[in-house]
With several copies, the nearest count.
Chain A
Amino acid sequence: MEFIQNNLDIIYFVIFCIFIGIEVIANVPAILHTPLMSGANAISGVIMVGAVIMMFQVPPTNYITLTVGGIAVFLGALNISGGFFVTGRMLKMFNTKK
């Protein structure tokens, strides 16, 4: 109960996000499934933002953590860049009729 009280805003936020996520692609035609999947994949790359924030906090002497964190950022960047580029390339193929 107290939890709900304190997190009411975030609860609304989550519910709305879920609804929007579902609603937004409810009517997508099958032909766009592959590029949409790929685009969604690119968006989930926003996890990199988390990795960067984490790296801000790592003590500069902790080399192991720095390395692991660096890899995390690298993977995130790969996901974002690759994701959007590959989606773009796919969509270029899907030109619609004029």
Chain B
Amino acid sequence: MNVLVEVGYLLATVSFLGGLKFMSSPKHAKIGNLIAATGMIVAVLCTFWMLTTQTVPSINLIIIAVAILLGTIGGKIMASKVEMTAMPQLVSLFNATGGGCAMLLGIVEAKQASLGSSFLGMQILLLLGLITGAVAASGSVIAYRKLAGKTKDNRNIMVVLGSRTLLLSFILIPVLYFIGIIPLPFEIVAYIMAFIALVYGVLFVLPIGGADMPVVISLLNSITGIATALAGFVYGNKAMIAGGIFVGAAGILLTLLMCRAMNRSLLKVLAGKFKKGKVAEDAEEQNIKETTVSETAMQLSFANKIAIIPGYGLAVAQGQHLCGQLQQLLEKRDAQVDFIIHPVAGRMPGHMNVLLAEANIDYEHLKEMDQVNDDMGHYDMVLIIGANDVVNPAAENNPDSPIYGMPIVKAYQSKQTVVMKRGMSKGYAGVPNDLFGMDNCNLLFGDAKDSLQEIINQLKLI
């Protein structure tokens, strides 16, 4: 192969590596993305540099060019149009395209391999690449549909059994083929495997809870990485191998890290189950105290230091902009308003950061949990808006609770707390929250957006 091509792939590999490295630090993440993207452009360009030593029919070239052009434009448009809250869906969709690409590549190469006399190792690589690609593709589509609310969880026993059976056939069919019991051409076997893998991808994701999708997407992404690496072996292409393995390995670790941040085990996530604690679902009657909008507004108007802890409910109610208004209003009255952001508040990591950034809230008022957790007592008033699990003291004091061990925002240590939610529903983890019954805690029932609006109205009058 051409030396320049090889050097280009080397550069691409190094920039994938550097890109990933930078992307994992909050300060340099943006540069990291740029580095990785540049590496990708280099990799693509030097692939075309191969044309200097190889003649390719112009029709092929035209198709390639058009496909790349359309893909690039399409990706750009989709990425620009999507709403911030729909990010995970879109990532999932893009992952499906990557998996799809790997699958189709495998199918075409399988056809070629059928014609030529390619050796065993190559055939195995092709089959593995095809299977992983197909699983990632169909799995990601289902993950996308779940996040978009188009497909419901399905924990039907048939689904589970079906997926296990298919898993078995992944091993069985190729083995039978290779020892010669299945007398079909390799091509056909490849098609069958691709089909089975597509179905498996669907069945694999179906039982998993919708809110666990970020974890699943990360896992599927890692599988796409493996498919890429396998294809890289087929072509002896170092950039593909390295890029694929980086993503594969990083993806698996990222999946585990995500689970840990939510204090869940990957196996439980994949089984669509929640850790069952010994806590009876609605164990004790809580002595909850309700409060009213006007009372809350009054308290806010007297407070000097206020903390707002946002959670999933705020995202659902789309109340982020009102949060910003409330902050401005209170600051005009010389109060200090901090937002305390729990890393897994909401339904994707960093959800709340994105939400509040959308509402143009100043970064100096966004506090991380660890920054303020020791000084919660300094706040005169803490407003919890649509958050539940992330402020549940059971995570600290009840070893039997499924969320035990998850770091929480220590709202229970503050002087006065008002929790805004619609009713007594539980949070994502499905556990009761002792905070609601505590002396320093009052509940303000109602949709977060409505309540916020009313508080703001009242405050303007005071």
List chain A positions with a Cβ less than 8 A from chain B.
Answer: 1-2, 4-5, 8, 10-15, 17-60, 65-66, 68-98
Contact = CB atoms under 8 A, between A and B. Distances in A.
Contacts of B237: 49-50, 53
Contacts of B66: 70
Contacts of A91: 29-30, 33
B10 A73 contact: no
Nearest to B365: A97
Contacts of B50: 53, 56
Given A4-B3, A78-B97, A95-B363, A21 B248 contact: yes
Given A32-B349, A50-B228, A83-B91, 13 more contacts: A4-B6, A13-B242, A39-B32, A40-B254, A46-B228, A69-B105, A70-B63, A80-B44, A82-B93, A86-B79, A86-B82, A89-B79, A94-B357
A13 B63 CA distance: 34
Given A46-B43, A57-B112, A78-B97, A41 B67 contact: no
B343 interface: yes
25 contacts: A13-B238, A22-B252, A28-B25, A30-B257, A31-B368, A32-B24, A32-B26, A34-B350, A37-B214, A38-B94, A40-B246, A43-B16, A43-B19, A46-B16, A46-B43, A50-B102, A52-B68, A53-B237, A54-B109, A65-B111, A77-B69, A79-B95, A82-B74, A82-B97, A88-B79
A75 to B, nearest CB: 4
A86 B23 contact: no
B234 A36 contact: no
B249 A17 contact: yes
B101 interface: yes
Nearest to A80: B40
Task: State the 3 A-B residue pairs at the shortest beta-carbon distance, nearest first.
Answer: A77-B71, A21-B249, A81-B75
Contacts, number: 392
Given A56-B60, A72-B101, A79-B98, A84 B227 contact: no
**Majority-rule SS of B interface residues:** helix
A70 B368 CA distance: 47
Contact of B10 (A11, A50, A53, A77): A11
Contacts of B363: 95-98
Contact of B105 (A11, A14, A47): A47
B270 interface: no
B104 interface: yes
Contacts of A60: 57, 59-60
A85 to B, nearest CB: 4
A21 B364 CA distance: 33
A56 B56 contact: yes
A98 to B, nearest CB: 8
Interface string B394-411: 000000000000000000
A7 to B, nearest CB: 10
Interface in B336-364: 341, 343-344, 348-351, 353-354, 357-358, 363-364
